[in-house]
């Protein structure tokens, strides 16, 4: 039997190659492991929503909330004086280039709302200061980069 090569045979061959390659790709894709970045991605998304609300709460404080450097030696954290005695929170000094240098401290401002954190002896470079606190079951969060020279 001799097959005549005309346009119909070409269309049938092209369709056959397309179907075979599509089926091969589907088989390959189905054999690949499927892994999520986090196994608890739903819970993490809820925590992200809570963090965004806490950031909004902190932004609403305006200039009554501040993170500043006092020279090279001290980091000064200022929160509203009316929150100072009732808050529970943490100050995280995060160093992306050296995870071993990270520090977690209690946020414990004076009655005036300020807390000084000694930075002497800390490696110079970029740091991310993260403040998390709760007052009357209301969460607050802010972060700011500081550079030690």
Q: Using CA atoms, how far apart are residues 26 and 29, in angstroms rounded to an integer? A: 5
Residue 73's pLDDT is: 81
**132 close to 105: Cβ distance less than 8 angstroms:** no
Residue 1's pLDDT is: 65
Residue 98's pLDDT is: 86
> What pTM value is reported for the model?
0.70
Residue 67's pLDDT is: 95
Structural domains in the chain plus CATH codes: 41-148 (2.60.40.10)
Which residues of the chain fall below pLDDT 50? Answer: none
Residue 89's pLDDT is: 96
Residue 6's pLDDT is: 85
């Amino acid at each position: 039997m001799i097959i005549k090569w005309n346009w119909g045979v070409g269309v049938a061959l092209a369709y056959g190659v397309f179907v075979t390659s599509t089926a091969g790709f589907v088989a390959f894709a189905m054999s690949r492991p499927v892994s999520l970045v986090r196994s608890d991605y739903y819970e993490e998304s809820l925590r992200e929503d809570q963090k965004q609300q806490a950031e909004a709460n902190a932004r609403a404080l305006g200039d009554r909330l501040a993170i500043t450097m006092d020279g090279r030696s001290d980091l000064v954290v200022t929160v509203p004086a009316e929150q100072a005695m009732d808050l529970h929170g943490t100050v995280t000094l995060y160093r992306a280039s050296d995870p071993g240098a990270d520090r977690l401290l209690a946020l414990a401002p004076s009655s005036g709302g300020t807390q000084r954190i000694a930075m002497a002896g800390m490696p110079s470079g970029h740091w991310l200061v993260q403040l998390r606190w709760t007052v009357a079951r209301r969460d607050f969060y802010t972060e700011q980069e500081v550079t030690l020279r």
